[in-house]
A and B are shown apart, each in its own frame.
Chain A
Amino acid sequence: MVRSARATRAASTDSDDHMVQLLTPDGERVTHPDYELDVGVDEARALYRDMVIIRRVDVEATSLQRQGQLALWAPLRGQEAAQIGAGRALAPDDFCFPGYREHGIAWCRGITPEQSARNFRQVTHGGWDPYEYNYAEPSIVIGNNAVNAVGYAMGVQHDGAESAVMACIGDGAMSQGDIAEAFVWSAVFQAPIVFLLQNNHWAISEPTERQTRIPLFRRAAGFGFPGVRVDGNDVFAMLAVTRAALARAKEGSGPTLIEAFTYRMGAHTTSDDPTRYRIDAEVEEWLQRDPIERLRRHLVATGAADEAWTASIDEEAEGYARALREEVVNLRGPTPVSIFDHVYAAPHPLVDEERAQMIALLGAEDAGSLK
């Protein structure tokens, strides 16, 4: 039984076949017949900096949760290249619909770590103005955001605008009915959208073979659009493939599914205990494919960076972590009475009545005081 399950896994989901890679785990630059990337030293160093900062911030947020400063955190460790590569491919007027682990893409959109932490401190269910960053609020219900993203993309198409939409989904989402509907709609209407599927191999405790019998990127073919598997720990490959998919969407050729083949190095969230369901050897194996280390090797080997430079980036990342800590521990809100503020955009008598009840019960001062 165990053996057959392992055999299935090897055959169905874990194969590296057809995976686009431009940078090997050893940091060696390789070519791919379909995807070229002309990346200069400055851009490569900027990608490295992004990844180091979001990893450091992620570690800080995890410890803030451990210290009771955040209600929860969903760590992204291991997925830095998938998120930074995809996030840096987006143009300012492209619009992205994230899930809840996309702190790296949020960073690329200009959203600060503190803004990303607001939801996890539960001072809000959102954290930013979606229109300011062209980045929707976090979506916690798996699959919903993909359908919303397709609708937005239909709007872009209707406007005749030259921008595209990205929907962030994962291996678990691929089992949701909403994903099937999002794929059907986007294909039928040739909507300008890229589905960024981060296959991090685990949907909480369930491995990818519990979601699929075939490699996930192959599903796209059945809906009538291309699917491509990318080494999700290779930031160059992620950047190149996402750019190509966005360009394809903008020229009216419809959706693309990008399967970023990566690994969730940490827990699903700070409430999770992965030692109950996965073995250390698997984590060890993925450690050898670390997205940051491979780019560091490449930068050093090509003379684009030295130890002094990487140390300066580490120091800068420390600064972001310190700033996050200071901002989070001082982050207050909401007020009790503010829960009534945005239930509806237009006046609603029941909401007004209940707001008055709360103020009468708590007193105006307490009802209006930040928690």
Chain B
Amino acid sequence: MTERTLAKAINEGLRKAMEDNPKVLLLGEDIGKLGGVFRVTDGLQKDFGEQRVIDSPLGESGIVGTSVGLAIRGYRPVSEIQFDGFVYPAFDQLVSQVAKQHARSEGAITLSLVVRIPYGGGIGAVEHHSESPEAYFAHTAGLRVVSPSTPNDGYWMVRQAIECADPVMFLEPKCRYWEKGEVDESAPPAGLFDAAVRRAGTDATLVAYGPSVKTCLKAAEVAQGEGRSLEVIDLRSISPLDVDTVARSVEKTGRLLIAHEAPVFAGMGAEIAARLTERCFYSLAAPPLRVGGYHTPYPPSRVEEDYLPNIDRLLDALDRAFEF
């Protein structure tokens, strides 16, 4: 057990994957000499060389598109998109090639690649540096989408994503990069696509992933003081969804709240609410409620606290769930 920041834990997960498998290559903008703008790849080029940690030209379609070719050749490329809001030039490659090569070739091509993206807000950044694009990817068959919320998950999930036979979108909650936690290098905490119950409770279920998990845990702490026992589930995987773990909780609590930073409309919360309503209709004492971004472009960061899910908004939604 060692204490690490999330950024350092992912760095060590990448290092271990590169040690274990010479086919693992990293590519992205500023990931080599600089070590990435968040230092997630710090020191890796120095230790593994410029052939395996590649400072790429500035072009996201090129980063993802060359990853496709490298993967067809048998490599396991792990690319970095510098910020969430810069992934869109690569969207064509992600949807048209990354997601479809395996199906198009009727299984002949196995496209094992990982696209890492620091995502989400809360760091006082300028435009295009705080977005949550996960629903775009989750909507695309052929992609898998995961997001760690703790250093231990950061270390293990990046390794598991690299070992996965399918392309994985690896979304890193950038506002949690500097938060510390214990990393247990002896064994993975769970499968890559398993949800985790982070706090047990009896009165309502809070579902979140990535940056919103901690917000939910704080809200649960406050709610405890108000006499309400909340269960907090960290999805960890956005596609596929571990519906079973959430359903077990909702059947027990009867109330479901979903939190994410992405806009609520047509977001992951809508999918989770629909699936859990189908599965747990007679267990629900109130309709599932969603707390997330508004239907606006991500705002200037001076007001982002009012845009993002926070303790007050979660507790307000909780009150509404109990008023039904």
A contact residues vs B (CB 8 Å cutoff): 97, 124-126, 129-131, 136-137, 141, 144, 147-156, 158-159, 177-178, 180-182, 184-185, 188, 341-346, 348-351
- Which B47-94 residues have a C-beta within 8 angstroms of A? 51, 56-57, 59, 61-62, 65-75, 77, 89, 92-93
In the complex, B190 has a CB within 8 A of chain A:
no
- Check B104–A148 contact: CB distance below 8 A: no
B107-115, B200-208, B256-264 - the one binding chain A: B107-115
Residues in A whose Cβ lies below 8 Å from that of B73: 151-152, 155-156, 159
Pick 25 A–B contacts, CB within 8 A, sort by A. Answer: A126-B104, A126-B105, A141-B96, A147-B61, A147-B69, A147-B93, A148-B68, A148-B72, A151-B65, A152-B73, A154-B66, A155-B74, A158-B25, A158-B51, A159-B73, A178-B65, A180-B59, A181-B59, A182-B62, A184-B57, A185-B62, A342-B103, A344-B166, A345-B107, A348-B240
Measured CB to CB, the nearest residue on chain B to A181 is B62
Give chain A nearest CB distance to B30 CB in angstroms.
Answer: 15
- Check B62–A147 contact: CB distance below 8 A: yes
- Check B69–A154 contact: CB distance below 8 A: yes
Once bound together, how far apart are the Cα atoms of A193 and B58, in whole Å? 20
Residues in B whose Cβ lies below 8 Å from that of A149: 69
Residues in A whose Cβ lies below 8 Å from that of B62: 147, 150, 178, 181-182, 184-185
B contact residues vs A (CB 8 Å cutoff): 25, 51, 56-57, 59, 61-62, 65-75, 77, 89, 92-93, 96-97, 100-110, 141-142, 144, 164-166, 239-241, 243
Q: Say which residue of B57, B65, B102 sits within 8 Å of A343 (CB atoms).
A: B102
Knowing A125-B103, A137-B104, A343-B102, the reply to whether A147 touches B51 (Cβ < 8 A) is no
Once bound together, how far apart are the Cα atoms of A261 and B109, in whole Å? 33
Residues in A whose Cβ lies below 8 Å from that of B100: 125
Residues in B whose Cβ lies below 8 Å from that of A155: 69-70, 72-75
Residues in B whose Cβ lies below 8 Å from that of A97: 69
- Check B75–A345 contact: CB distance below 8 A: no
- Check A148–B69 contact: CB distance below 8 A: yes
Once bound together, how far apart are the Cα atoms of A348 and B146, in whole Å? 14
- Check A184–B142 contact: CB distance below 8 A: no
Once bound together, how far apart are the Cα atoms of A26 and B196, in whole Å? 75
Once bound together, how far apart are the Cα atoms of A144 and B57, in whole Å? 17
- Check B102–A147 contact: CB distance below 8 A: no
Give chain A nearest CB distance to B179 CB in angstroms.
Answer: 30
Once bound together, how far apart are the Cα atoms of A26 and B239, in whole Å? 62
Measured CB to CB, the nearest residue on chain A to B241 is A350
Once bound together, how far apart are the Cα atoms of A317 and B162, in whole Å? 49
Knowing A125-B103, A130-B108, A344-B102, the reply to whether A177 touches B72 (Cβ < 8 A) is no
Knowing A342-B106, A345-B107, A345-B110, the reply to whether A144 touches B69 (Cβ < 8 A) is no
Residues in B whose Cβ lies below 8 Å from that of A342: 102-103, 105-107
Give chain A nearest CB distance to B68 CB in angstroms.
Answer: 5
Residues in A whose Cβ lies below 8 Å from that of B166: 344-346
Residues in B whose Cβ lies below 8 Å from that of A348: 144, 240
- Check B144–A144 contact: CB distance below 8 A: no
Residues in B whose Cβ lies below 8 Å from that of A148: 65-66, 68-69, 72, 97
Give chain A nearest CB distance to B140 CB in angstroms.
Answer: 10
Give chain B nearest CB distance to A106 CB in angstroms.
Answer: 15
Once bound together, how far apart are the Cα atoms of A349 and B246, in whole Å? 14
Please name 8 further chain A to chain B contacts, defined as beta carbons within 8 Å, in addition to the given A151-B65, A151-B68, A342-B105, sorted by A numbering.
A97-B69, A129-B105, A148-B65, A148-B66, A148-B72, A178-B93, A343-B102, A344-B165
Residues in B whose Cβ lies below 8 Å from that of A184: 57, 59, 62
- Check B92–A178 contact: CB distance below 8 A: yes
Residues in A whose Cβ lies below 8 Å from that of B239: 350
Residues in A whose Cβ lies below 8 Å from that of B105: 126, 129-130, 137, 342
